[in-house]
Amino acid sequence: MRNYLLDVWNIIDPIYYTCSRLHSVSENDQKNSNNTLFRVRLTNYLGNDVVLQDGTIIHKHDLLLKIHLHNVKILNELRKTDNQFKKALYIYHEIKRGLPMLANYISLHEKSNEIKGIIGITSLSQGANKLGFEVFDIKNTYYRTYKKYAISPMNFIANTSIKAPVYLLMSKNKLINTYHFSRI
């Protein structure tokens, strides 16, 4: 059943990608180069004010780069193993590998000066702090419940338990200072 659902998701994903205004983050920002797990789009933050560890304050309506993981790509890769530790390690290392490219993407973005940071929503937040993300609860009960059920099909296919989703945030300065590489 899970494999069937993943096959259907593989068909639907390109349509979702096109309709959702997402952009892939890739090495050298070329469409045919090595893509990361990150898909991104600009968004205005709508949550409660948040103060990050580096002093950055994220207010309602601040411009953020919303990160989405390429879930179909992840699940296709994780089909090969049932070991939960190996699955978590794969995701961790792929995200870590993609963060320098994300830093490069944001530093070259036409609205780079306006972007305050990056945001993601996930139910898999273990290890996020080691990568530089800060984890914040989603305060709005309705939105948290909506996201929990929106994420549940992926959790079913991945055979992982459903946990309450959280915000992952990182300031643009922290991302660039920690992960940015220059093009030589």
Q: Which residues pair with 184 in a beta bridge?
A: none
The residue segments making up the domain with residue 90 are 2-179
Q: Give domain status of residue 131, yes or no.
A: yes
Q: Give domain status of residue 161, yes or no.
A: yes
Residues 42-90 have pLDDT tens digits of 999 998 899 999 999 999 999 999 998 877 677 777 777 777 788 788 8
Tokens of 86: 């190996």
Residues 100-128 have pLDDT tens digits of 999 999 999 999 999 999 999 988 788 89
Residues 7-31 have pLDDT tens digits of 665 667 666 666 677 888 876 544 4
18-28 per-residue burial string, b: 16 or more CB within 10 A, e: under 16 = eeeebbbbbee
| Residue of 164, 168, 165 whose CA lies nearest to 58 | 168
**In the chain, how many domains are there?**
1
Tokens of 106: 């944001």
Q: Give domain status of residue 184, yes or no.
A: no
Helix pair 84-108, 172-179: axis angle to 10 deg = 100
Q: Give domain status of residue 73, yes or no.
A: yes
